[in-house]
Amino acid sequence: MCGILFRLQLKKSFTNDSFHKELWNQLMILNNQRGPDSQGELFKSIQSQSSSLYTVYLTFFGAVLHLRGPSIVKQPLTDNDEEDVLLWNGEIFNGVEIPPGENDTKYLFAALKMSHNIENDNEEKNRILHILQSIEGPYAIIYWQSSKRRLWFGRDCLGRRSLLWNLHSEEDNFILTSVGCKISQMSKSPYFAEVSANGIFYLDLDKMLSSTSWEPFNNFLTLPFGKVNDTLPNPEDLPQLPASSDLSNSYIPAISLKIQDAIDRLIEELGDSVRRRIIDIPRVGSIQDARVAIMFSGGLDCICLAALADRYIPKEEAIDLLNVGFENPRIQQIKKNKKTNISYKDNSIYDVPDRLTGRQGVEELRKIAPNRKWNFVEVNVPFEEACTFKPKIIELMAPSDTIMDLSIAMAFWFAVRGKGQVTSLDDSEIMIDYESKARVILVGVGADELLGGYSRHREAFKQHGWKKLIEEIQLDVDRISTRNLGRDDRIISSHSKESRFPYLASNVVSFLCSLPMYIKADMRYERGIGEKLLLRHVARQLGLFNASFLWKRAIQFGAKTAKMTNENNKEKGDMRVI
């Protein structure tokens, strides 16, 4: 994982005014936080072929978090003659051949340079696009192709890595960066927007100098594996519903041979996705430190990831389960008004819903994997501390800017920071301070979109049946790339850690989209049974019986970051942060 930063300056004479100097320095600081292991900067000046008056100045900056290979590969990465330049913030889990234990950055660079041997320009461009399209894994890339004076840049088709641009800036200063910022003293601070994940872009320098025009490849990296199976179920496909008197909260729908095959296949596909994302992580620090952590509410999505991770991480290693809870004065006031006896010095103020299900979840994990050291990290966030870091989190999540963005970003930021408490090995009643050193964070994003986990999916079925449910899930799959993964990357990476999303691996998405809807979700059943039905079966097969009946709960409600005060009772999630 890396922080990548690029600037193109187009001026008749190079100037280094105070605004751009301060802006660049701030962007370097923020990108440095993403990559503490190595930082580098590279300058290039290129003369216009059409006019000797113009010189183009290119600046590349890379900050590396070492997560692949035996040694650090510094960025910006160049060849021997320092002509081509690569800035790479990504992980290649499949698609481009990477020998086991090797670094993917240098192999990608070599593959891109091989395309230069193709004489036909269109074929050469198509070859570069083919390489990028074939990558299985999250990425953002900036690549300077010197021979064609061409700048390539873009993100993976799901938008799992952040890349921002200042499209609305002055014409002679173009910036690409993993994370944006504002210069508070300057009124002309640039507006950074997300680079669209629906294509790979390139900027032809010579064409730009003559016409100041872009030549993007829009809609190139689409989701060929993202077409949801729209076959409506036949009546004989559907299990017969039991009498309402038999339909309890712990009812388990019948499992046909077809459904059992889907359960086995999902365990296989999701397990492979988890395995690829947790093997070969370099060890940093003590052998006692966990190399992998999981955002852990105890809910269905994350506990299945934990159980699968246990299969592939050496048994002597710990796994950190990051569980966050916030002091929420509004909730405490409501409890006080109800005469609930609660002390602000008592950790019970952090017994938010996710804390309670998290504790239950880790106990289930300890039963199925008793020899594993599961560090259940209770991250407790006092209201005062949340307020202190709120401005920083708002800056990091930008251009995302709603109340809901902030609620989710705060939960992610404090959880991934990993400063909390764990129970003492000697006495389970004693809590000791603990800070997670894990650099890789598994996150359960994607399960709800693919398996029908949202309340709107149930409502769609209630109103218009299977056809509307399928349409609603297709809509969610189609807009994964435009949702919040860039925001989450900016938040998590600010702690020099990397998020990885096993449910969004192409093999998992492809498999789940291929299944008939009734196998994945059956909203004829009650909440806690019908939504994400297939994953609930998987959980039970993994030995996670209690977790298999838990309802979906958004992190801002589970951790209690939503509406932390009574300052504005009319505050809505889609309102902009002031």
Active-site positions?
Answer: 2
Full 3-state SS string of 220-239: CCCCCCCCCCCCCCCHHHCC
Helices 403-417/383-397 angle, 10° precision: 110
Nearest to 305 by CA among 365, 379, 355: 365
- Spatial distance between the Cα atoms of 265 and 201, rounded to a whole number of angstroms: 36
The three-class DSSP label of residue 31 is helix
Q: Tell me the chain's radius of gyration from C-alpha atoms.
A: 25
Strands (E), 248-332: 292-295, 318-326
CB under 8 Å to 329, separation ≥6 — which residues?
Answer: 383, 564, 565, 566
DSSP 91: -
CB 405 within 8 A of CB 487: yes
- CB 578: neighbour CB atoms within 10 A? 7
Single-letter code of the amino acid located at 76: P
Give the length of the chain: 578
CB under 8 Å to 13, separation ≥6 — which residues?
Answer: none
Q: Report strand pairing: 498-500 vs 440-442.
A: parallel
Strand partners, 284: none
CB 405 within 8 A of CB 446: no
